[in-house]
Chain A
Amino acid sequence: MTRERISKMQEKVNLIFSECDSMELLEQALKVEPQQILKMLLTSSLRGRGGAGFLTSLKWKFASEADGNRKFVVANADEGEPGTFKDREILDKVPCKVLAGMAICAHTIGAREGYIYLRGEYNYMKKSLQQKLDEFNDKIKNMLDFTISIKSGSGAYVCGEETALIESMEGKRGEPRNKPPYPVTEGYLGFPTVVNNVETLVYVAMIMKHGAAHFASLGTEKSKGAKVFSVSGDTPIPGIYELEMGMNLAEFVELFGDGDTKAVQVGGASGFCVPRRKFAETIIGFEGIPTGGSMMLFNSSRSMYNVLHNYLEFFCEESCGQCTPCRVGCQQLRNGIEAVKQRKLPPSHLDVLSKMTRTMKIASKCGLGQSVPNSFNSIVTSFKEEIIY
């Protein structure tokens, strides 16, 4: 029953994994003037699918207007957020659509070079991807002056942040840069660079194919279009699902839960934990909780202390370590909840930590440190007794 409903919902969308001739799509897309493409993207309201949700049309517009002898398009395939595994699937199933999206971007902003920044853990697919790339580069030779290559990451979570990713591409330590300048004006090697999530690029291709209006007709007013979700945790049907944006969590849990869902972590370790009582009022999307796709379900057998501790342990390890709020803040949070749990510090220490997260949120150098407080505060607020006792 549930599966049928899900299938129907997926069929309604069916953009990312649909069958399509990427070359034909690209041929048509390249006939469209860059200005027109920007307009289409604006109409579609497509926002970055990596999690931050920046308007794709705006990002491309900035890059197209920026001066530079060279420009770059980078597909961010550093999928590292705990609980997301959709980019892997996209690269595996429909790599040519990603490449087409990159080529459309190149055509729009005037780039001649593109890179796929491939997560270190995905190196196993490098060979087959390279093969696809070689064919693609060969095929578009006569259509567009654009060549794509692969750069491998080395397993640092922070390199999903676009400026750390660029640093890593340049062979440096993966540390986020000061912004501004943003990559659209000074990115890879100092040249204007668009860094887009793999999924975003595929949606661009699909918007070119099916039209901006079709895309914009999906989802809600503030969260238009669809999104690929990575569903994991206490669910009988874990996996990758492309669904319309704007569903509320109650519906989501009804479809994917095991009947005993007590919380859903929306957006991975850097996202928010929503308790059962808030499922109905929580929309998955920019008007509620946006997500890069990670949806982790927890049933009542799970200790939310362990969940939070696991996230914080992750952040202590994966903070790049350069800025104070993130480097120290993560350790304070992890050590702090341990101390409270072990009764070495009173429960009121959680308030000290919560106060500290205000600074992490607004003073950290990049999105990593800024979003660590999300899981901490949402879990501590909703499951305080599990943290203390």
Chain B
Amino acid sequence: MKKMKLYIDNNEVEVMEGTTILEAAQGLNITIPTLCHHEDLCIAGNCRVCVVEVEGSEMLSAACATPVSTGMRIKTNSLKVRDSRRTIIDMLLSEHAGECVTCQRSGNCELQTLAVLYGSPDNHLMDISIKTEPDRSSSSIIKDDSKCIKCQRCVRTCQEIQKIGALTMSGKGEHAKVSTFFELPLNTVVCTNCGQCVIRCPTGALVERTYIDEVWDVIGNSDVHTVVQTAPAVRVGLGEALGHDAGGRFTGQMVSALRKLGFDAVFDTNFTADLTIIEEGSELLNRLTNVIKGSGEALLPMFTSCSPGWIKFIEHQFPHLLGHLSTCKSPQQMFGALAKTRWSEKAQIEPEKISSISIMPCTAKKFEAARPEMNDSGYRDVDYVLTTRELAKMIKQAGIDFDKLDESECDSLLGKHSGAAVIFGATGGVMEAAIRTVYELVTGRPVPFENLNITAVRGMEGIREATLRIEGTVEKYNFLEGVELKVAVAHGLKNANAIMELVSQGSAPWHFVEVMACPGGCLSGGGQPIPTSPEIREARARAIYEEDESLPIRKSHENPEITRIYEEFLTDGPCGHKSHHLLHTHYTPRR
């Protein structure tokens, strides 16, 4: 690799060979507007918003797609560049059904921002947008082709990050569009509802299906008792949607805001994350017992089951491996089932009068809540799922000055949680939480890592592996003495796919595998604030681990409300009859 010297707007800069004009300009703090470009995705060079002038060439060059060469002289703000940039933005606006006043993305729309900054005050191009009925078939995502500007970020996301290919381009010329297989409705194709396309769409062409009005309705109905839960990743994302930089933690303010919004009981999904660890940990030990002691058959590795995008992925792509999935419901669904049983009993409120609402960093959770299997309380376990973005919008709608809120704590019974639960929000977190508990259960000692931080399973590498030798076991688990517990963590479905290929071939060495559908885990789920980038994900992950370290309880089994629920409610213990009925489920192969 050699260094190359070039000039951008008369500023000299030296960069490595292979650097693009855009990157070189960024190094000089020169902003070149982009649209189809996204840090997480391959270069497309198709929107042409980033065109710049290269001396000696009649043609403009797309800054995002053009590698630099020695001696290049580039103008990013010449008459020619400004004229084309404006024309291109005007062109995009002419094919975009701009319904800014009703659009969910208004105020956070990249096209809108560009239009305001660079577009014509008076666009003379004809309106060639075609208003089509949005695809509202999915319970998670709405696809509105009339707002699509064909940047193909969603197609690249679905293909490159998730390796799903639910979205692809069809047609050419004026008929080019982002399509599903044979134009089938989203709810009938292999879409996992992960929403990674939603958080990378620059416009309102892909948005979550929103339930804000429904939730306001139940909050406003005095006959309904509203119970709300918030997932771990929401607290480290919410701030961004309310004007803060990425990486802030807002647990206490979030709880106060939920009370102010009018929810009757404010709980925490973290509680059922701790419960998941107990149930899933027990299930893992049961499977290990069966396999190692040879007393029965059990499928290993066992996969985590918290991520509903991952669940639907495996139902579609690897249905023959469904038996490897933990039967545990996700924390959201465990919570839903308990809200209408345990809380109903304690609070003496009829379950039919309870509306169970969850705030999730996820679009797939909306689909999960609507699954027919998720009615074990006798009612729909979770009635409405809102994303972090929707919660932020409700806070704004209610006129709450978020920054001035005092911190407060969740209600008790289903509200207390450990640091182990918080880290569910980051890739590797479920694994780390599980190891903290399982290791201690088996050996009677805490995990042998400084400050309980199992750094081997942390980080942003796509697939991470770790081995933990089990020594000094308590009597019940003597059969595990000397066993090397092998685990793997994957995030993003492309990585999940790689794992599954190995499992499918029978060459996977692991006992336990955590998979999260979204890159970075829930902290960058499809329901989190837009945008996402490697830096934003890093910042949210840091916040998650800080939150863990800040809590007095760091292990799920030390959560007193967990102890209590097994004493008072799930009296036949982890993986017992009652927990099986309420907290475990089954999965269905899908075409």
A residues near B (Cβ < 8 Å) are 156, 158, 173-174, 178, 180, 315-325, 327-332, 335-336, 339, 345, 349, 352, 355-356, 358-359, 362-365, 370
A362 to B149, CA, bound (A): 20
25 A-B residue pairings within 8 Å (CB atoms): A156-B172, A173-B169, A174-B172, A180-B66, A180-B67, A317-B172, A317-B175, A319-B172, A319-B174, A323-B45, A323-B46, A325-B48, A328-B95, A328-B128, A330-B174, A331-B95, A332-B94, A339-B126, A345-B126, A352-B124, A356-B87, A358-B87, A359-B83, A359-B87, A359-B88
| Contacting residues of chain B (183-206) with chain A, CB-CB under 8 angstroms | none
A90 to B45, CA, bound (A): 36
Q: A331-B95, A352-B124, A365-B48 are in contact. Are A319 and B66 (CB under 8 A)?
A: no
* Residues of chain B within 8 A of A319, CB atoms compared: 172-174, 176
* Residues of chain B within 8 A of A324, CB atoms compared: 46-49, 88, 91-92, 149-150
* Residues of chain A within 8 A of B253, CB atoms compared: none
Q: A328-B95, A363-B84 are in contact. Are A336 and B126 (CB under 8 A)?
A: yes
A362 to B83, CA, bound (A): 11
* A358 in contact with B83 (CB, 8 Å): yes
Interface string of B62-100 (1 = CB under 8 A from A): 100111000000000000100110011001101100000
Tell which of B46, B60, B95 has the most Cβ of chain A within 10 Å: B46
Besides A319-B173, A328-B128, 4 other A-B contacts (C-beta < 8 A): A178-B45, A349-B124, A356-B125, A363-B60
* B91 in contact with A325 (CB, 8 Å): yes
* Residues of chain A within 8 A of B58, CB atoms compared: 362
* Residues of chain A within 8 A of B124, CB atoms compared: 349, 352
* A316 in contact with B173 (CB, 8 Å): yes
* A178 in contact with B48 (CB, 8 Å): no
* B405 contacts chain A at the CB level, 8 A cutoff: no
* A332 in contact with B128 (CB, 8 Å): yes
Nearest B residue to A326 by beta-carbon distance?
B173
* Residues of chain B within 8 A of A345, CB atoms compared: 126
Q: A317-B172, A358-B83, A362-B58 are in contact. Are A323 and B48 (CB under 8 A)?
A: yes
* B152 contacts chain A at the CB level, 8 A cutoff: yes
A301 to B546, CA, bound (A): 80
A67 to B58, CA, bound (A): 29
Nearest B residue to A334 by beta-carbon distance?
B174
Interface of chain A, main secondary structure: helix
A359 to B84, CA, bound (A): 5
* B347 contacts chain A at the CB level, 8 A cutoff: no
Interface string of B524-538 (1 = CB under 8 A from A): 000000000000000
* B173 in contact with A328 (CB, 8 Å): no
Q: Which of B43, B51, B67, B91 contacts A329 (CB 8 A)?
A: B91
* B125 in contact with A364 (CB, 8 Å): no
CB distance from A109 to the nearest CB of B (A): 23
A370 to B126, CA, bound (A): 21
* B59 contacts chain A at the CB level, 8 A cutoff: yes
Interface string of B90-124 (1 = CB under 8 A from A): 01101100000000000000000000000000001
Nearest B residue to A338 by beta-carbon distance?
B126
A180 to B21, CA, bound (A): 12
5 smallest CB-CB distances across A and B, nearest first, come from A321-B176, A328-B91, A178-B65, A359-B87, A319-B173
A204 to B133, CA, bound (A): 55
* B126 in contact with A364 (CB, 8 Å): no
* B243 contacts chain A at the CB level, 8 A cutoff: no
CB distance from A349 to the nearest CB of B (A): 7
Q: A323-B47, A336-B126 are in contact. Are A315 and B173 (CB under 8 A)?
A: yes
Nearest A residue to B168 by beta-carbon distance?
A173
* Residues of chain A within 8 A of B552, CB atoms compared: none
* Residues of chain A within 8 A of B149, CB atoms compared: 324
* Residues of chain A within 8 A of B94, CB atoms compared: 328, 332
* Residues of chain B within 8 A of A156, CB atoms compared: 172
A318 to B174, CA, bound (A): 8
B residues near A (Cβ < 8 Å) are 43-49, 51, 58-60, 62, 65-67, 80, 83-84, 87-88, 91-92, 94-95, 124-126, 128, 149-150, 152, 169, 171-176
* B95 in contact with A363 (CB, 8 Å): no
Q: Which of A178, A325, A327, A358 contacts B66 (CB 8 A)?
A: A178
A327 to B150, CA, bound (A): 10
CB distance from B47 to the nearest CB of A (A): 5
Interface of chain B, main secondary structure: loop
A387 to B152, CA, bound (A): 36
Q: Which of B60, B91, B92, B150 contacts A321 (CB 8 A)?
A: B150
A327 to B176, CA, bound (A): 9
CB distance from B503 to the nearest CB of A (A): 29
A332 to B125, CA, bound (A): 7
A325 to B90, CA, bound (A): 10
CB distance from A345 to the nearest CB of B (A): 8
A365 to B94, CA, bound (A): 19
Nearest A residue to B67 by beta-carbon distance?
A180
* A363 in contact with B176 (CB, 8 Å): no
CB distance from B169 to the nearest CB of A (A): 6
Tell which of A315, A319, A322, A358 has the most Cβ of chain B within 10 Å: A322
Q: A325-B88, A363-B51 are in contact. Are A335 and B59 (CB under 8 A)?
A: no
A336 to B125, CA, bound (A): 8
Q: A323-B46, A362-B84 are in contact. Are A335 and B128 (CB under 8 A)?
A: yes
CB distance from A159 to the nearest CB of B (A): 10
CB distance from A114 to the nearest CB of B (A): 28
A228 to B150, CA, bound (A): 39
* Residues of chain A within 8 A of B47, CB atoms compared: 323-324
Q: A324-B47, A356-B125 are in contact. Are A332 and B91 (CB under 8 A)?
A: yes
* Residues of chain B within 8 A of A363, CB atoms compared: 48, 51, 59-60, 84, 87-88
* B173 in contact with A317 (CB, 8 Å): yes
* A321 in contact with B174 (CB, 8 Å): yes
* Residues of chain B within 8 A of A158, CB atoms compared: 172
Nearest A residue to B44 by beta-carbon distance?
A322
A329 to B95, CA, bound (A): 10
Q: Which of A335, A356, A362 contacts B80 (CB 8 A)?
A: A362
Nearest B residue to A323 by beta-carbon distance?
B46
* A358 in contact with B125 (CB, 8 Å): no
CB distance from B74 to the nearest CB of A (A): 15
* Residues of chain B within 8 A of A349, CB atoms compared: 124
CB distance from B92 to the nearest CB of A (A): 6
CB distance from B453 to the nearest CB of A (A): 43
* B150 in contact with A358 (CB, 8 Å): no
CB distance from A359 to the nearest CB of B (A): 4
* Residues of chain A within 8 A of B48, CB atoms compared: 323-325, 363-365
A306 to B149, CA, bound (A): 30
Q: A324-B92, A332-B91 are in contact. Are A365 and B174 (CB under 8 A)?
A: no
* Residues of chain B within 8 A of A318, CB atoms compared: 172-173
* B126 in contact with A328 (CB, 8 Å): no
CB distance from A341 to the nearest CB of B (A): 13
* A331 in contact with B172 (CB, 8 Å): no
A355 to B125, CA, bound (A): 11
* A327 in contact with B169 (CB, 8 Å): no
Nearest A residue to B90 by beta-carbon distance?
A356
* Residues of chain B within 8 A of A330, CB atoms compared: 173-174
* B128 in contact with A321 (CB, 8 Å): no
Q: Which of A315, A317, A322, A332 contacts B152 (CB 8 A)?
A: A322
* Residues of chain A within 8 A of B59, CB atoms compared: 362-363, 370
* B95 in contact with A321 (CB, 8 Å): no
A327 to B45, CA, bound (A): 14
* B172 in contact with A320 (CB, 8 Å): yes
Tell which of A178, A321, A323, A363 has the most Cβ of chain B within 10 Å: A363
* Residues of chain A within 8 A of B44, CB atoms compared: 322
* Residues of chain B within 8 A of A325, CB atoms compared: 48, 84, 87-88, 91
Q: A173-B169, A359-B83 are in contact. Are A316 and B91 (CB under 8 A)?
A: no
CB distance from B104 to the nearest CB of A (A): 23
* Residues of chain A within 8 A of B51, CB atoms compared: 362-363
* A322 in contact with B176 (CB, 8 Å): yes
A319 to B172, CA, bound (A): 6
A352 to B126, CA, bound (A): 10
